[in-house]
Amino acid sequence: MSRYWSDVVNTLTPYLPGEQPLLDKLVKLNTNESPYPPSPRVMDAISAVSADALRLYPDPESVALRQAIAARFGLQTEQVFVGNGSDEVIALAFMGLLKHSLPLYFPDVSYSFYPVWSAMFDIAHRTIPLDQDFSIDPAAYPVKNGGIIIPNPNAPTGMLMSLDSIRALLQRSAESVVVIDEAYIDFGGESATQLIDEYDNLLVVQTLSKSCLLYTSPSPRD
Ligand SMILES: *Cc1c(COP(=O)(O)O)cnc(C)c1O
């Protein structure tokens, strides 16, 4: 099939997933998985779902889930969008909000998928070097841009940007969308979700994959 690949696929470098060793009794940290099983209440909730319900499409607007997320963050249901993992949400944001004639900006050391989506969706992009101490300086980002995306805390540096710095970034580039990718925010730091009502150019993305990962294999202690 590979001879039928499109031009864009030919330019991509395949992603190498983290190694999944087949050894038992190993606490794996390389792909950010939790060594602990979910709370018994999670298991109860899963068991309470009737398998019969799975033959129907779920609510296409995920209203119950969006209401629960909105209540958790003090937002309106209409302000919440859900997808199949934040990679999907970010990919949709690249296509729908970050593809413009001016380039998209992100830090030179950050989530390795940003350059991949940029290439896939043919989005002009530039990287901005981190400061000497690995921090991100909002003043280093051009005022005129096609969008900005920054993980906070940044990955893989673990460096946190303050809400004041994020405010500065949002004010500086008020004509374009700033995406704050909060995959690791639960490990320390204040969420920019509290700025959503203040700035209409802010998109905050979170995921259940890191701090809330559902790990159903037997725990390594078993
Ligand atoms: C893991 C990760 C994601 C994607 O997580 P999903 O499993 O797709 O929800 C997005 N951004 C960063 C910075 C990540 O580390």
- Say if 9 falls within a structural domain: no
DSSP assignment of 154-193 equals -TTT-PPPPHHHHHHHHHHTTTS-EEEE-TTGGGSS--GG
- Find out whether the beta carbon of 147 lies less than 6 Å from any atom of ligand 1: no
Tell me how long the chain is: 222
| pLDDT value for 19 | 83
73 and 120 fall within a common domain: no
Ligand 1 centroid to residue 52 C-alpha, Å: 31
Number of domains comprising the chain: 2
Among candidates 150, 97, 95, which has minimal Cα distance to 121? 95
* Boundary residue ending a domain (51, 82, 113): 82
Please indicate, yes or no, whether residues 156 and 203 belong to a single structural domain of this protein. Answer: yes
72 lies in the same domain as 105: no
Closest-lying ligand 1 atom to the alpha carbon of residue 87: 8
Residue 135 pLDDT: 96
Residue 72 sits in the same domain as residue 134: no
Residues 75 and 106 in one domain: no
So what's the pLDDT on residue 216? 47
Q: Could you tell me the strand order of the sheet in which 147-151 lies?
A: 125-128, 104-107, 147-151, 178-181, 202-205
State residue 217's pLDDT score.
47
Structure tokens at 19: 């190694």
Among 110, 152, 210, 213, say which to mutate for ligand 1: greatest number of ligand atoms within 8 Å of CB: 210
Nearest in space to 185 (alpha carbons), one of 214, 151, 213:
151
Give the residue whose CA is nearest to atom 11 of ligand 1.
183
One domain, residues 175 and 96 = yes
Residues 6+ apart with CB under 8 A from 79: 70, 196
Are 103 and 132 a contacting pair, CB within 8 Å? Answer: no
The predicted pLDDT at position 220 comes to 44
CATH number assigned to the domain comprising residue 110:
3.40.640.10
Q: Is residue 111 part of a domain?
A: yes
Predicted confidence at residue 222, as pLDDT, reads 36
Pair 125, 163 in one domain: yes
Q: With respect to residue 70, please indicate whether it lies within any of the assigned structural domains.
A: yes
| Domain finish residue from 60, 82, 104 | 82
Q: Closest residue (by CA) to atom 15 of ligand 1?
A: 183
* Helical residues (DSSP H) of 110-162, grouped into ranges: 113-120
Domain that holds residue 70: 37-82
Written as six digits, the tokens of 10 are 């030919």
- Whole-model pTM: value is 0.88
- Contact of 152 with 189, CB cutoff 8 Å: yes
- Measured distance CA(68)–CA(63) in Å, rounded: 9
Tokens in use for 126? 């530039």
Instruction: Write down the pLDDT at residue 213.
Output: 65
Domain for residue 8, yes or no?
no
Per-residue pLDDT of the chain (222 residues; tens, 9 = 90+): 999 999 988 888 887 888 888 888 888 777 777 777 788 998 899 899 888 888 999 999 999 999 999 999 999 999 999 999 999 999 999 999 999 999 999 999 999 999 999 999 999 999 999 999 999 999 999 999 999 999 999 999 999 999 999 999 999 999 999 999 999 999 899 999 999 999 999 999 999 988 876 544 444 443
Does one domain contain both 75 and 114? Answer: no
* Last residue within a domain, chosen from 24, 56, 82: 82
pLDDT (0 to 100) of residue 78: 97
Asked whether residue 76 falls in the same domain as residue 174, the answer is no
Host H or E run for residue 107: strand 104-107
Dist CA 146 CA 178 (whole Å): 9
DSSP letter (8 states) at residue 59: P
With b for 16 or more beta-carbon neighbours within 10 A and e for fewer, the 203-222 pattern comes to bbbbbeebeeeeeeeeeeee
218 falls within a domain: no
Q: Residue 27 falls within a domain, yes or no?
A: no
| Cis peptide, bond prior to residue 153, ω within 30 of zero | yes
Same-domain pairing of 58 and 78: yes
Q: Are residues 127 and 96 in the same domain?
A: yes
Identify whether residues 130 and 46 lie together within a single domain: no
